[in-house]
Amino acid sequence: MLGGKAGIGNGTKVFHRMMVPERMTSACGAVGMGRAAIEIAARYADRRKAFGQKIRQFEGVSFKVAESVTLLDAARALDYSVCRAVDAGEHPDRVRRLVSEAKKFSTETAWTVVNHAMQILGGIGYTDIFPVERLLRDVRLITIWTGTNEIMDLVIQHEYFREFLAAESTARDVESDARGVEYPEEKEYNE
Ligand SMILES: Cc1cc2nc3c(=O)[nH]c(=O)nc-3n(C[C@H](O)[C@H](O)[C@H](O)COP(=O)(O)OP(=O)(O)OC[C@H]3O[C@@H](n4cnc5c(N)ncnc54)[C@H](O)[C@@H]3O)c2cc1C
Protein backbone atom coordinates (compact mmCIF):
# COMPACT_ATOMS: atom_id res chain seq x y z
CA MET A 1 0.00 0.00 0.00
CA LEU A 2 2.75 2.44 0.93
CA GLY A 3 5.68 0.92 -0.91
CA GLY A 4 9.11 0.81 0.70
CA LYS A 5 9.01 4.32 2.20
CA ALA A 6 6.10 5.94 3.97
CA GLY A 7 7.42 9.47 3.55
CA ILE A 8 6.63 12.58 5.57
CA GLY A 9 2.94 13.24 6.15
CA ASN A 10 1.85 9.62 5.73
CA GLY A 11 1.73 8.76 9.41
CA THR A 12 -2.01 8.16 9.39
CA LYS A 13 -1.68 5.66 6.56
CA VAL A 14 1.13 3.89 8.39
CA PHE A 15 -0.99 3.79 11.55
CA HIS A 16 -4.02 2.41 9.71
CA ARG A 17 -1.90 -0.27 8.09
CA MET A 18 -0.27 -1.24 11.38
CA MET A 19 -3.68 -1.59 13.01
CA VAL A 20 -4.64 -4.42 10.65
CA PRO A 21 -2.27 -7.05 12.15
CA GLU A 22 -2.59 -5.42 15.61
CA ARG A 23 -6.36 -5.72 15.72
CA MET A 24 -6.53 -9.11 13.98
CA THR A 25 -4.06 -10.43 16.56
CA SER A 26 -6.43 -9.21 19.27
CA ALA A 27 -9.42 -10.75 17.47
CA CYS A 28 -7.90 -14.16 16.79
CA GLY A 29 -6.17 -14.28 20.17
CA ALA A 30 -9.52 -13.63 21.81
CA VAL A 31 -11.05 -16.64 20.08
CA GLY A 32 -8.16 -18.78 21.34
CA MET A 33 -8.62 -17.53 24.90
CA GLY A 34 -12.34 -18.18 24.77
CA ARG A 35 -11.77 -21.67 23.38
CA ALA A 36 -9.28 -22.50 26.14
CA ALA A 37 -11.67 -21.28 28.82
CA ILE A 38 -14.70 -23.16 27.57
CA GLU A 39 -12.70 -26.38 27.16
CA ILE A 40 -11.65 -26.14 30.81
CA ALA A 41 -15.26 -25.47 31.80
CA ALA A 42 -16.68 -28.28 29.64
CA ARG A 43 -14.23 -30.79 31.13
CA TYR A 44 -15.08 -29.56 34.64
CA ALA A 45 -18.83 -29.75 33.94
CA ASP A 46 -18.43 -33.35 32.84
CA ARG A 47 -16.58 -34.29 36.05
CA ARG A 48 -18.05 -32.13 38.78
CA LYS A 49 -21.19 -33.49 40.41
CA ALA A 50 -23.87 -31.61 42.37
CA PHE A 51 -27.24 -32.87 43.58
CA GLY A 52 -26.25 -36.36 42.45
CA GLN A 53 -25.49 -35.61 38.82
CA LYS A 54 -22.86 -34.13 36.57
CA ILE A 55 -23.37 -30.37 36.49
CA ARG A 56 -23.43 -30.40 32.68
CA GLN A 57 -26.79 -32.12 33.00
CA PHE A 58 -28.23 -28.88 34.37
CA GLU A 59 -29.45 -26.64 31.55
CA GLY A 60 -28.17 -23.61 33.46
CA VAL A 61 -24.69 -25.02 32.86
CA SER A 62 -24.94 -26.74 29.47
CA PHE A 63 -26.72 -23.81 27.80
CA LYS A 64 -23.77 -21.59 28.75
CA VAL A 65 -21.56 -24.06 26.88
CA ALA A 66 -23.96 -23.97 23.91
CA GLU A 67 -23.92 -20.19 23.76
CA SER A 68 -20.15 -20.11 24.15
CA VAL A 69 -19.32 -22.52 21.32
CA THR A 70 -21.85 -20.80 19.03
CA LEU A 71 -20.34 -17.37 19.70
CA LEU A 72 -16.82 -18.72 19.26
CA ASP A 73 -17.71 -20.37 15.93
CA ALA A 74 -19.27 -17.10 14.73
CA ALA A 75 -16.24 -15.06 15.83
CA ARG A 76 -13.83 -17.56 14.22
CA ALA A 77 -15.78 -17.45 10.94
CA LEU A 78 -15.76 -13.64 10.96
CA ASP A 79 -12.03 -13.58 11.67
CA TYR A 80 -11.28 -16.01 8.81
CA SER A 81 -13.37 -14.01 6.35
CA VAL A 82 -11.72 -10.73 7.40
CA CYS A 83 -8.25 -12.28 7.05
CA ARG A 84 -9.20 -13.39 3.54
CA ALA A 85 -10.39 -9.84 2.71
CA VAL A 86 -7.05 -8.46 3.95
CA ASP A 87 -5.06 -11.02 1.95
CA ALA A 88 -7.18 -10.35 -1.15
CA GLY A 89 -6.19 -6.68 -0.95
CA GLU A 90 -9.72 -5.32 -0.59
CA HIS A 91 -10.06 -1.53 -0.36
CA PRO A 92 -8.29 -0.19 2.79
CA ASP A 93 -11.44 1.62 4.01
CA ARG A 94 -13.47 -1.57 3.85
CA VAL A 95 -10.66 -3.54 5.48
CA ARG A 96 -10.62 -0.96 8.29
CA ARG A 97 -14.31 -1.60 8.97
CA LEU A 98 -14.03 -5.38 8.76
CA VAL A 99 -10.97 -5.53 11.00
CA SER A 100 -12.74 -3.34 13.57
CA GLU A 101 -15.80 -5.61 13.46
CA ALA A 102 -13.60 -8.66 14.00
CA LYS A 103 -11.76 -7.06 16.91
CA LYS A 104 -14.93 -5.87 18.63
CA PHE A 105 -17.00 -9.02 18.10
CA SER A 106 -14.23 -11.48 18.94
CA THR A 107 -13.11 -9.71 22.12
CA GLU A 108 -16.68 -9.24 23.36
CA THR A 109 -17.37 -12.89 22.54
CA ALA A 110 -14.31 -13.94 24.52
CA TRP A 111 -15.42 -11.78 27.45
CA THR A 112 -18.82 -13.50 27.47
CA VAL A 113 -17.32 -16.96 27.06
CA VAL A 114 -14.66 -16.60 29.76
CA ASN A 115 -17.30 -15.30 32.16
CA HIS A 116 -19.47 -18.32 31.36
CA ALA A 117 -16.47 -20.57 31.98
CA MET A 118 -15.78 -18.97 35.37
CA GLN A 119 -19.44 -19.27 36.34
CA ILE A 120 -19.45 -22.97 35.39
CA LEU A 121 -16.39 -23.57 37.57
CA GLY A 122 -18.04 -21.81 40.49
CA GLY A 123 -15.77 -20.71 43.34
CA ILE A 124 -12.73 -22.68 42.21
CA GLY A 125 -12.84 -20.75 38.92
CA TYR A 126 -12.00 -17.55 40.79
CA THR A 127 -8.84 -19.06 42.29
CA ASP A 128 -5.58 -19.78 40.47
CA ILE A 129 -6.09 -23.55 40.61
CA PHE A 130 -7.49 -23.19 37.07
CA PRO A 131 -6.17 -20.55 34.62
CA VAL A 132 -9.62 -19.08 33.96
CA GLU A 133 -9.10 -16.13 36.34
CA ARG A 134 -6.00 -15.18 34.31
CA LEU A 135 -7.91 -15.54 31.05
CA LEU A 136 -10.61 -13.26 32.47
CA ARG A 137 -8.08 -10.51 33.22
CA ASP A 138 -6.31 -10.95 29.88
CA VAL A 139 -9.54 -10.91 27.89
CA ARG A 140 -10.68 -7.76 29.69
CA LEU A 141 -7.53 -6.04 28.46
CA ILE A 142 -8.08 -6.88 24.80
CA THR A 143 -11.47 -5.15 24.79
CA ILE A 144 -9.40 -2.02 25.59
CA TRP A 145 -6.06 -2.20 23.80
CA THR A 146 -5.32 -1.84 20.10
CA GLY A 147 -8.17 0.67 20.25
CA THR A 148 -11.10 0.35 22.66
CA ASN A 149 -14.26 -1.31 21.40
CA GLU A 150 -15.97 2.10 21.48
CA ILE A 151 -13.35 3.25 18.98
CA MET A 152 -14.11 0.12 16.93
CA ASP A 153 -17.76 1.27 16.85
CA LEU A 154 -16.60 4.68 15.73
CA VAL A 155 -14.62 3.18 12.84
CA ILE A 156 -17.32 0.67 11.87
CA GLN A 157 -20.12 3.22 11.53
CA HIS A 158 -17.84 5.78 9.87
CA GLU A 159 -16.64 3.38 7.17
CA TYR A 160 -20.09 1.87 6.74
CA PHE A 161 -21.72 5.26 6.11
CA ARG A 162 -18.90 6.25 3.78
CA GLU A 163 -19.27 3.09 1.66
CA PHE A 164 -23.05 2.95 1.88
CA LEU A 165 -23.68 6.60 0.95
CA ALA A 166 -21.18 6.45 -1.93
CA ALA A 167 -22.99 3.44 -3.43
CA GLU A 168 -26.54 4.62 -2.70
CA SER A 169 -27.28 6.12 -6.10
CA THR A 170 -26.56 2.81 -7.89
CA ALA A 171 -28.04 0.42 -5.31
CA ARG A 172 -31.40 -1.28 -5.79
CA ASP A 173 -34.19 0.77 -4.15
CA VAL A 174 -35.31 -1.66 -1.46
CA GLU A 175 -37.79 0.88 -0.08
CA SER A 176 -39.84 0.52 -3.26
CA ASP A 177 -40.75 -3.00 -2.06
CA ALA A 178 -43.07 -1.44 0.54
CA ARG A 179 -46.81 -1.71 -0.05
CA GLY A 180 -47.08 2.01 0.67
CA VAL A 181 -44.58 2.96 -2.04
CA GLU A 182 -47.17 5.13 -3.81
CA TYR A 183 -47.29 7.50 -0.83
CA PRO A 184 -43.81 9.10 -0.86
CA GLU A 185 -45.24 12.23 0.81
CA GLU A 186 -45.63 10.12 4.00
CA LYS A 187 -41.84 10.07 4.34
CA GLU A 188 -41.09 13.21 6.30
CA TYR A 189 -37.44 13.80 7.18
CA ASN A 190 -37.52 17.35 8.43
CA GLU A 191 -38.48 18.39 11.97
C1 LIG B 1 -1.36 -3.60 29.21
C2 LIG B 1 -1.43 -2.58 28.11
C3 LIG B 1 -0.55 -2.68 27.05
C4 LIG B 1 -0.58 -1.76 26.01
N5 LIG B 1 0.30 -1.89 24.97
C6 LIG B 1 0.34 -0.96 24.01
C7 LIG B 1 1.31 -1.03 22.95
O8 LIG B 1 2.12 -1.96 22.89
N9 LIG B 1 1.31 -0.06 22.00
C10 LIG B 1 0.45 0.98 22.04
O11 LIG B 1 0.49 1.85 21.16
N12 LIG B 1 -0.49 1.07 23.03
C13 LIG B 1 -0.56 0.14 24.01
N14 LIG B 1 -1.50 0.23 25.02
C15 LIG B 1 -2.40 1.41 25.03
C16 LIG B 1 -3.80 1.04 24.59
O17 LIG B 1 -3.84 0.82 23.19
C18 LIG B 1 -4.72 2.19 25.03
O19 LIG B 1 -4.84 2.12 26.44
C20 LIG B 1 -6.10 2.10 24.38
O21 LIG B 1 -6.02 2.35 22.99
C22 LIG B 1 -7.10 3.10 25.00
O23 LIG B 1 -6.55 4.38 25.01
P24 LIG B 1 -6.54 5.20 26.39
O25 LIG B 1 -6.07 4.31 27.48
O26 LIG B 1 -5.78 6.45 26.13
O27 LIG B 1 -8.05 5.49 26.68
P28 LIG B 1 -8.86 6.82 26.31
O29 LIG B 1 -8.66 7.15 24.87
O30 LIG B 1 -8.55 7.87 27.32
O31 LIG B 1 -10.34 6.30 26.51
C32 LIG B 1 -10.97 6.26 27.79
C33 LIG B 1 -12.42 5.85 27.60
O34 LIG B 1 -13.10 6.82 26.77
C35 LIG B 1 -13.66 6.17 25.64
N36 LIG B 1 -13.54 7.06 24.47
C37 LIG B 1 -12.47 7.80 24.10
N38 LIG B 1 -12.75 8.43 22.94
C39 LIG B 1 -14.00 8.07 22.57
C40 LIG B 1 -14.86 8.39 21.48
N41 LIG B 1 -14.44 9.20 20.51
N42 LIG B 1 -16.06 7.82 21.43
C43 LIG B 1 -16.48 6.99 22.42
N44 LIG B 1 -15.74 6.65 23.47
C45 LIG B 1 -14.50 7.18 23.55
C46 LIG B 1 -12.82 4.92 25.45
O47 LIG B 1 -13.54 3.93 24.72
C48 LIG B 1 -12.57 4.50 26.89
O49 LIG B 1 -13.71 3.83 27.37
C50 LIG B 1 -1.51 -0.69 26.06
C51 LIG B 1 -2.42 -0.61 27.11
C52 LIG B 1 -2.38 -1.53 28.14
C53 LIG B 1 -3.38 -1.41 29.27
CA 165 remoteness from chain centre: 24
- Nearest residue (by CA) to ligand 1, atom 1, is 141
Per-position pLDDT tens, the chain of length 191: 455 567 899 999 999 999 999 999 999 999 999 999 999 999 999 999 999 999 999 999 999 999 999 999 999 999 999 999 999 999 999 999 999 999 999 999 999 999 999 999 999 999 999 999 999 999 999 999 999 999 999 999 999 999 999 998 899 999 999 999 999 999 999 98
- Nearest residue (by CA) to ligand 1, atom 50, is 145
Ligand 1 mutation target, pool 148, 149, 154, 156, most atoms within 8 A of CB: 148
The conformation of residue 129, written as its DSSP 8-state character, comes to: T
The length of the chain is: 191
Rounded to 10 deg, the angle between the 92-121 and 132-142 helix axes is: 150
- Ligand 1, CB within 6 Å, residue ranges: 141, 144-148, 150-151, 154
Phi and psi, residue 53, nearest 5°: -145, 165
pTM for this structure?
Answer: 0.94
Cβ partners under 8 Å of residue 118, min gap 6 = 37, 41, 125, 126, 132, 133, 136
Phi and psi, residue 184, nearest 5°: -60, -25
Distance 146 CA to ligand 1 centre (A): 7
Distance 75 CA to ligand 1 centre (A): 23
What residue ranges do the domains of the chain occupy? 14-168
Q: Domain 14-168 class?
A: mainly alpha
**Start-end of H helices in the chain:** 11-47, 59-87, 92-121, 132-142, 149-167
Query: What CA–CA distance (Å, rounded) separates 5 from 28?
Result: 29
